[in-house]
Amino acid sequence: MRYMTKSFLAVISLLLVISTVLCCFASCSLTALGDAQSSDSSDVGGVDDEKNKNDEQQNEQQGEQQKEPIETALNYDNVKVEDYVSFVEYEQLSISLDSANASKEEALWNAILENAVISSYPEDKVDYFFNQTKKAYMYIVNGNEEDYKLLLKNRGTDEIKMRDEAKELVKKDLVYYYIVRKENIVLTAEEKTQLFDKYVDEYVNAYRYNREYVIGNMTEFIYESMLYDKTMELLLEKNTFTVDTGKADQ
């Protein structure tokens, strides 16, 4: 798949966070396991009791989460993005590529974001991305606050950095939707119908999802991807690209 929506990319990145965290936490767990094995049997019993409490708390949390509606993607329909975006330059740019094989889409998007000015951020969107990242960490440590703090320390981050990263994700969304609305880019019913099967196949092949699952649960993601592709095609037409031969020869 050539492009993905920024919101969906953020969700995928959270899955990568979980994978990285698992590797990081595994080493911490091995150290803790060695300490526990060197303790007496009464200490081991205490660890078991604590683990059981954590399991019970996790089950209760999962039960509460199942009652909540599942948020599949961030929705900006009711967000006046122009209230947050002060400046975006996205046309008549001259983009320099490192090589003939470099991604025009990535280079263009990075240039647009670099010069974009965001006056403020919708806090609910920042909270969403921040909370998703924190949930990923807390899930790994079974909701244990001390282990959570240790995990952040081992990864060289903290909640201030996590919130800054969340703002960067929101910035991408704000800029993207600003351009979409400024250029009045929409999907027609014909485009949705003609392209749907193609995008379903791309989701199945790229992410190994079951086809029935994609059709039943990811329709909105597919339409978002279609819109993103259409937007990028327009942006590619509105800008020029040159290959920096000096960089290409290095």
Cα–Cα distance measured from residue 82 to residue 77, given in angstroms and rounded to the nearest whole number: 13
Q: Which residue segment(s) compose the domain that 66 sits in?
A: 6-249
pLDDT tens, 51-91?
455 555 554 544 443 333 334 346 898 999 999 999 999 99
Tell me the helices (H) and strands (E) count for the chain, helix number first.
10, 4
pLDDT tens, 230-249?
999 999 999 999 998 766 55
Residue 207: the pLDDT is 85
In a domain, residue 1? The reply is no
In a domain, residue 96? The reply is yes
**What is the average pLDDT across 101-114?**
94
**Mean of the per-residue pLDDT values for the chain?**
80
In a domain, residue 163? The reply is yes
In sequence order, what DSSP letters do the residues of 105-154 get, joined into one string? HHHHHHHHHHH-EES---HHHHHHHHHHHHHHHHHHTTT-HHHHHHHHHH
Tokens for 164, please give them: 């800054």
What is the value of pTM for the model shown?
Answer: 0.72
The count of structural domains within the chain is: 1
In a domain, residue 200? The reply is yes
In a domain, residue 47? The reply is yes
Tokens for 96, please give them: 């320099």
pLDDT tens, 148-203?
999 999 999 999 999 999 999 999 999 999 999 999 999 999 999 999 999 999 99
Query: The CATH number of the domain where 182 resides is what?
Result: 1.10.3120.10
Using the structure block, give the residue that is written with the tokens 């647009």.
112
